[in-house]
Every structure is written in C-alpha cells, then in structure tokens.
Structure 1
Amino acid sequence: MNNSLSSNRLTGLTLLIAIAFFMEQLDSTIAVTAINNIADDLSVHSTTITMAIAVYIMTLAIFLPIGGWSAKNFGCKNTFLSAIILFTVGSLGCGFSNNIYLFISSEIVQGVGAALMVPVGRLFVIQNSKKSELAKRISILVWPGLIAPIFGPSLGAYITTYYSWHWIFFINIPIAMILFVLAWYFLPTEYINKQSRIKLDSLGFLLSSLMLVMGLGSLDWLSNFGINNIVPWGLLTSSVILGVLLNHHISKSKSPIISLAPWNNDVNFKHTLISGSICRAALSGLPILIPLFLQSELGLSMIESGNIILTMFAGNLLMKMFTTSIITKCGFKKPLIISSLISALSILGCWYGQHNISYICVMLFLIGCMRSLQFSLYNTLAFSELPKPYLNSANVLNNLFTQISFAMGITLVSIFIRLGSNSDIISSNISILPFLGFASLALLPLFFLLFIEKDYGNSVR
C-alpha cells in the first residue's frame, strides 16, 4: 500500500476514478434510445447499430485482462491515462461518424479504453485502501454502475430529441479532458522495474477473447432474434469448450492472462463472485424492462417512463448514506439475505401495481435501495479478506463476471418477454413472466450465500 497517500487524497482520487467509471458505464446505455436515429443517418438497419453497440461491450470484456497485465507492467497511472486518451479518441470518432465502418471502428477503440479504465482504477483504490476504509471506497466506486443504466436511456432520449445523436458521444470529451488533467497531477507515479515485467500470455488472451466473443455473441443473438435458433446455442457451446481449453492453459502457464488463484484457493471469494453475478443479472435488466412495461401497458412516452425510472436513482442515493453503517453493525450475510427478499418482492410488486403509478414508484424506490446496498456489499465482500498478491487477479475476475452478468440481464429481458408472449418477436403486451423470472433470479443468490462463512468480511467492519 502507498502510505504516502492521505485518507482525504485517496477519497478524492476514488471519486475521480468513479467519474471515469460513470463515463464508461453511461456509454453502454445512453445510445440505446438513439439507435433508430443513428441508423437513419448512417443509412443502415437499426439492428446493425444494435450490433455495433454490442461490439463495444464485447471489446470492453475482451480487453479487461489486458488492463490487469498493463497495470503490472506499466503502472496504474500510465495505463489509466492511456485509457482516457483511447476512450476520448473513440468518442470523437463515433460523434463524427458518417458511415458504419467508422462508427464500429470507433466503438472498438472506445471499448479498449474502457477496458483499461475499469480494472486499473479499481485496482489502484483497492491496493491503496486500508481494510477499515475499503467499504467506504467501494461504495463510492459502485455508484456509476447504479446510476448510469438508469440515467443513460433518459439522457440519450433527451439529447436525441432536442439536439442530435452526435452529442451523445461528444459530451464525453470535456469530461475526459478534465479527468486526464486531474489524473495527471494527482495520481501517484509508481516505479516499475523493467526487469520484473511479465510477457503477455498471447495464447491465453486469444482463448479468452474467443470465449468471450462466442459467449457474449450468443447472448446478443438470443436478445435480438429469440431462442428458437441453433446459432446462439452453437456459439454458447463453443464458448464453453473454449473456456475448458482456457482453464487447462491457465493451469499450465507460469504467467497466465487471467489468474484463477483467488477462485481456486478461497471458496468464500468464489461464492461471493457467483452470488453477486446472479444478483447483478437480476437487477441490471430492470432499467430496460420497466420502461418497456410502462410504455406498453400504461401508454407512457419514452421520456415519461424514463422519468419514473429515476425513482430508482433516489433509492440508490438514499441507501448510499447508510451502507457503511449497515456493514459495520450487521456485517454482510444478513443484509444480503434481507435485501434479496425485498428485491424479489418489489420486482413482483411492479407488476401487481401496474395501473397505479405511485405504487410502482414506491416499488422502484425500494429496488433502488436494495440494488445500491447489494452492489456495494458484494463488491466490498469480494476483496475484504484477500491477501495483496491476489488483488490484481481477483479484480480482473470480478470485472469480467460483472460485465457478463450485466449482458445476461439485458438478454434475459428480451427472452422473458418473448416467452411470455409465446412469440419470437417482442410483444406489445408484457406478461407477468419477466417479473416472475427476475424475481426468481433475485432469490437465487440466497443458495450460494449459504456457503459463505458467517464472519467472512469482518476485517473491514
């Protein structure tokens, strides 16, 4: 740990990194409402733009392991600054795109930049935080993942309606410039011994890349075209096979692209990662499902339904005030069990209160509170008892699982709606099935929580 960093300075740097995360997370959702406008301007079908956005998410996931490797070899500061530059160049390219090829290429550049920002920024905070302050720092880092999916679609709709879709990407530029200057001056420069640099595990990177492309590609295919097709299942099977090959390679490699040491040697970390990923999948689809539900069942406009979703944001903010106190007084397991139950009941409550806007707002507020609490608890618990040598690899694994779970949550929205309408196209009427599906998924982490030791994480209380 870098003892030269004061607590206040580290808190400020944590906030700076959180803003960078917010910029990256926002880019994953803000363009969703502008798909048709972008497609019209670039003279392509809307599904092509959907696939271009999926390319950004895939690129982000693929290059996450490179972020951990780069931090080891070139330092957190150099990697983080390079990531901001790449993300800015990608944003400019997207905004100035006049054809689909430039747009997709720019999305790839953006994805690489985002992949370097995500693990490196979090790793810096985790490595430099005392155990007693870890919960507070993680709580700050979690808020971008909570707020961006809620704000993104509404902000995208507003910008597209009153300005143009190009500004969805241009708004990143001033934020990125400010972040770069602040990071340049305030992030400490680490001394990296060139003799200790590790060669990139090219074969491991190739296998992990193909595995993620196949896996995320299958989810994207299922989301857009339904389950009655052999292609996504073939992609998913290929992804599993590649995962087996990657695991074999990692077990033989001295310096693998992804180290499984925390997963293999700490059963509590393993079950925290699994239960946390299921929780994120259950809750990440709601900012998409609820607006669709409000528009189809209550006839609300895109902006009106987006405004109602902001009640989740209010719940997120309120719970942030109490998260650290809850961890200190109650630990992790009990709050996670209670919040899982409340989340499931609140999800079902949204369906049963479909003709009462006020009732739905109360349910969304509760979901926002539980979502904030659960994300903070899982992220803190995952790193709470790990020794320092495991932090880098655990951070990469946590980020990979997070990206996959978010993609899975979005895919499940489409799958549940199609199953509920008994059709391969998304119906104009949304049945209770999606709500039952996500409520059941919100309860599933309870099973894996049984395998986590009761006092695990006490060192950060």
Structure 2
Amino acid sequence: MSLRVSKPILVALIIACAMFMENLDGTVITTALPEMAKSFGTNPIRLSLGITAYMLSLAVFIPISGWIADRFGARTIFSAAIGVFTLGSILCGISQNVPEFVGARVLQGIGGAMMVPVGRLVLLRSCEKSELVRAMSYLMVPAMIGPVVGPPLGGFITTFASWHWIFFLNVPVGLLGIVLVQRFIENHREPATAPLDWWGFVLTGLSLSCLMYGLELVGRPEAGAAQTLGFLGAGLAIGLPAVRHALKHPQPLVDLALLRVPTFGATVIGGSLFRIGVGAIPFLVPLMLQVGFGMDAFSSGLLTFAAAAGSLTMKMSGRPILKRFGFRAVLVVNGAISAFFMMICALFTPATPAVTIFVLLLAGGFFRSLEFTSLNTLAFADVSSPKMSAATSLSSMVQQVSLGTGVALGAILLHLHLMLRDAPHGPLGTGDFHFAFVIIGLISLAAVALFMRLAPDAGAELSGHRPRGFAPERAPAAGDD
C-alpha cells in the first residue's frame, strides 16, 4: 500500500522543515553559549551579541521580504533564503572568534527573515482555500516545537558532541530543502511591482531594531535601565514617523491599510495580544521548574516537551474542529481556554506531581497550537492576491515583535513581583512565577474581545462552517474598490 500525500500538504511539510530549522537554531544556541564562549576565549555575555545580531537582522529584513518575493519570484527567494541561512550556519560552525560569529549570525538572520514570510506566502498561493486549514496546521508545528525542543537538544549536542554540530546539522536539511523547493514549488511572481519604498524600509528597520534590542535588554540584568529605556524610546520615536509615512505613501512597504480588512485586522491585533502571553511561556516555564522547583535541566526539558507534543496532536483535529464550530467560535472559546491553561501554571508547586504538570502542559500546547492555526489561516481569508505578499510581511513583522515582547514582559513581571515583596535583589521564588503566569494569561485573554467582533461566518470558505440561519456576506478584500 502506497502512502500518497497531496501537493498542498507536501508543500506545507517542505516549508515547515525550513521553518523548523530556523526556529530550532534560534533556541538551541542559548544552552551552548557557555561552551562557545570558552572556545572563543571570551565570556557568554559578550557572545550573546550573536543572538542580538540575528534578532536585529530579522527586524530589518522581514518588512522587505514580500516586495522581494513579488519582484524576483517566491520560489527563487525562498530557495535563496534557505541557501543564505545554510551558508550562515556553516560560517557559524567554523567561526574562530566573536566578530566572525556575529557576522555569520547576521547572514543567518537575513536568510531567516525571508524564510518565514515568503514560506507562508508560498503556501497561501499553493493551496486551495479548502485545503488551507489542514496545510496551515502542519506549518504551525515547528513554531511550537522549536522553542521547547531547542534548549535540551542544544545541551545534549554540546555535552556529548561539540557546539559546532548545532550549526552543521542545518547543512543537509538546507540542501535537501533547496532541492525539494525547486522540484515541487511554483515560482509565482507579480507581473508588475511598485518601486521599493526606501524611506519606509529605513524608518521601519530602524524602529524595529531599536524596539527588539530594547526588549532583549529587558531580560538582561547587566543592562542598565537608562540603556533599555533609551532603545525602547528611540524605537517608538522613530516608529511614529514610520507610521505616518506608511499611511500617506501611495504604495508603502508596510501597508497598514490591510488592518482595515476585518479578518486580517482582528487576527493581527488580537493575535498580538495572544502571542505576547504565549511568548512568555517558553521563558517562564523552564525557569520556574529549574530555579523555583530545583529541577535539573534534563528533567525540566522532559516536562516542557509536553507543550510540543500537544501541538503535534492538534494538526489532526484542527480541521474538523473549525468545520464544526467556525473560526469565530474557536478563536473566542479556544482563546479563553488557552489563557486558562497559561494561568493554571500559577497553581504549580514543587509538590505538584510531575505527571500532573505534564498533562496540563500537554493540553495547553494543544489549545495554543489550535489558536495559532486559526489565527494564521483566517488572517489571509479576505486579502486579495496582489496584497498577499504585503500581508505576510506585515503579519510576520508583528508576530516577531509580539513574541519578543512576551519574553521581555515575563522578565519584567518577575522583577516587579520581587519589588512588590520588597526583595528586588533576592532569589526568585514560586510566588514570583505565579504572579507572572496570571498576568500573561489575562493579557492573552484580552484578545478574545477582538475575536468576538468577527462575523459569525468569518472564513467560512476556508473552514467549511456555515452558521445556521445566517446569510453570509463576503468581507471586503484588501485592494477592492
């Protein structure tokens, strides 16, 4: 008996492998930094420049990815992105000092900035709407698994092999990915592209770079408050003229007019609130298990893997759930359930049985993955084809900032609770983590208010759901007159 895979699912799996490579690489490196620092003869704090350089490359080049894909073809750019990322991985693995490593990470970041939005664009243009929910559920798996699997895998490779293999493992995956992309993905390109909005590119890149670096500094105790607030303030200050420019320019690089499309606007803005909470989870949970409960890294990793396992089980059930209940009901009810599972972590104590923690993290991973699949599918339901590349760039840009904000918020909440209990420099306790989980859960819950404003038949063409007694009306697509 032969196993046949439909072309949309095959395309989704190819793109998911590339994204998994990027997501995994971004997290495995954190546990390898001490050994890498010894190899370079420096300290881990200085080597964290490699993480920062990668993050800043993403911030600068994600906004331009859609325009480049329209200009040169989505398959061409996606293949090139994998190639650049793979080359950057090789250069990281053979780096002999900090400047070489930072330069290689910048190159990796350029490739990564193109892989996510252009990969999503390829999938949107390769799938019929009836297949999109199923295909997108496969695409969401690497985003859920990477942050969970990365740290323990990085520790394993560093301990039993060498930190160089963290980067060399990307090479066969990248080469295979390029071959599969060339074999199975069409090279769609727009027949005419507007001139590049250089001013918008510069303003957006500067603003996002300052914001992302400021958010990263929040989680670093050695960074002073003045420096952190300075970068955050600069990011906001530059962001204001960037927004004004985007609203006035006839063909802006960052098309904020897309937010007027009800489904896109609700999922991007509401999804940002949800992702802020989710972004804090991979930071808070392992820290609580190791610092608060005294677990070793391996035991903590076994428990946190439950969230990844939960996301894997979702891909088989997401499509029938959305067909039965529709996007609006799933986003509202499932969003509230997901927020509940974030807040329930506040009940964990060192005495809580490991199996209980595992099961609850497993369930939380399932519901968060279902919410992600719903958000990322519905976002493009009413976006017209000429605007699709701009929509994927804007969506990816906002997601990157939201997840970074979640990590920073997690660190801020821990420090805030330390100050509230009059121990600003004291050790973290379980109560500090409980406070943080409640707050991030409430922030994610706030997204439900925006999802409730969606039409009952929102995305019905994608989900196949038809509300009883409701006469559907097509939402205006971006680019419609």
* TM tier relative to shorter chain: over 0.9
Contact in 2 for aligned 1:417/1:426 (Cα 8 Å): no
2:442 maps to 440
The Cα shift of 1:44 comes to: 2.4
User: Residue 269 in 1 paired to residue 257 in 2?
Assistant: no
Q: Give the structure-2-normalised TM-score.
A: 0.89
Structure 2 residue aligned with 1:37, among 19, 35, 42?
Answer: 35
What is the aligned partner in structure 2 of residue 3 from structure 1? none
Question: What is the one-letter code of the residue matched to 2:87?
Answer: V
Matched, 1:324 2:319: yes
**Mapping for residues 198-213 of structure 1, pairs under 5 Å:** 198-213=194-209
- Residue 78 of structure 2 aligns with an amino acid whose one-letter code is F
Alignment of 1:248-397 (within 5 A): 248-263=244-259, 265-354=260-349, 355-356=351-352, 357-397=354-394
Q: Is the CA contact (8 Å cut-off) linking 2:332 and 2:452 kept in structure 1?
A: no
Name whichever of 67-76 and 278-287 sits farther off: 278-287
Q: How far apart are residue 38 of structure 1 and its match?
A: 1.6
Measured after TM superposition, the shift of residue 127 of structure 1 is 1.9
C-alpha deviation, 1:376, in angstroms: 0.4
Q: How does 1:117-128 map to 2 (within 5 A)?
A: 117-128=115-126
Q: Give the direction of change, closer, same or farther, for the CA distance of 1:226–1:96 in structure 2 (3 Å limit).
A: closer
Contact 1:214 1:235 in 2 (8 A): yes
The Cα of 1:190 is off from its aligned counterpart by 4.2
- Aligned partners of 2:32 and 2:155 also within 8 Å: yes
- Tell me, yes or no, if structure 1 residue 429 matches structure 2 residue 434: no
Distance 1:13 1:378, change over 3 A: same
Q: Distance in 2 between matches of 1:350 and 1:103?
A: 37
1:7-86 to structure 2, matched below 5 A, reads 8-86=6-84
Q: How does 1:147-226 map to 2 (within 5 A)?
A: 147-190=145-188, 196-225=192-221
Question: Are 1:234 and 2:230 counterparts?
Answer: yes
8 Å CA contact 1:149–1:287 kept in 2: the answer is yes
SS in 2 for 1:31: helix
Cα distance in 1 for partners of 2:368, 2:458 equals 21
- CA drift at 1:63: 0.4
Paired residue type of 1:409? G
Q: What letter corresponds to residue 121 of structure 2 in structure 1?
A: L
Deviates more, 1:153-162 or 1:439-448: 439-448
- Judge conservation of contact 1:349–1:360 (CA < 8 Å) in 2: no
- Tell whether 2:410 aligns with 1:420: no
Give the aligned partner of residue 478 of structure 2.
none
User: Alpha-carbon deviations, 1:398-443, whole Å to 9, x = none?
Assistant: 1011111111112122212222222666834242211122221221
Aligned residues: 453
* Structure 1 residue 104: Cα displacement: 0.5
> Which secondary structure does the structure 1 equivalent of 2:220 belong to?
helix
1:295 aligned partner, one-letter code: Q
In structure 1, what is the Cα distance between the partners aligned to 2:188 and 2:328? Answer: 37
C-alpha change, 1:452 and 1:358, in structure 2 (3 Å) is same
- 3-state secondary structure, aligned to 1:63: helix
Distance 2:171 2:125 in 1: 29
Alpha-carbon contact 1:414-1:426 (below 8 Å) kept? no
Q: Distance in 1 between matches of 2:257 and 2:367?
A: 31
**In structure 2, what residue type is equivalent to 1:387?**
S
Q: Which residue of 1 aligns with 2:462?
A: 460
Following superposition of structure 1 onto structure 2, how do residues 86-165 of structure 1 map, counting pairs within 5 Å? 86-165=84-163
Are the structure 2 counterparts of residues 341 and 252 from structure 1 closer, same or farther at C-alpha, using a change threshold of 3 Å? closer
8 Å CA contact retained: 2:190, 2:386 = no
For 1:61, the aligned partner's letter is A
Aligned to 1:408: 405
Deviations 1:24-69 (A, max 9, x none): 1111111111122222222222222223202212211210122111
One-letter amino acid of the structure 2 residue matched with residue 111 of structure 1: G
State the AA in 2 paired with 1:436.
Answer: V
TM-score by length of 1: 0.93
Deviates more, 1:81-90 or 1:221-230: 221-230
Quick check: 1:131–1:459 contact (8 Å CA) kept in 2?
Answer: yes
Q: Describe the superposition over 1:249-277 as per-residue Cα deviations: whole angstroms up to 9, x where unpaired.
A: 223333322222311x3133212111111
> For structure 1, which runs of at least 5 residues remain unmatched after alignment?
1-5
Q: For the residues of structure 1 that align with 2:213 and 2:348, how far apart are their CA atoms? A: 35
Deviation at 1:137, TM superposition (A): 1.6
Assess if the C-alpha contact under 8 Å between 1:268 and 1:451 holds in 2. Answer: no
Deviation at 1:386, TM superposition (A): 2.0
The more displaced of 330-339 and 307-316 is 330-339
Is the deviation greater in 280-289 or in 153-162? 280-289
Q: Cα RMSD between the aligned structures?
A: 2.0
Deviation per residue, 1:278-309 (Å, 9 max, x gap): 11121122122111111123321111101111
Q: Distance in 1 between matches of 2:226 and 2:449?
A: 32
1:108-144 residue CA offsets vs partner (Å, 9 max, x unmatched): 0000011111111110111232221111121121111
Offset from partner CA, 1:11-30 (integer Å, 9 cap, x none): 21221011101111111111
Tell whether the 8 Å contact from 1:86 to 1:112 is kept in structure 2 after alignment. Answer: yes
- In structure 2, what is the Cα distance between the partners aligned to 1:438 and 1:304? 25
CA distance in 1, matches of 2:395, 2:112: 15
> How far, CA to CA, are the matches of 1:166 and 1:454 in structure 2?
52
Distance 1:39 1:346, change over 3 A: same
Residues 169-192 of structure 1 show CA distances to partners (whole Å, capped at 9, x for unaligned) of: 111111001111111222223477
Matched position secondary structure for 1:386: coil
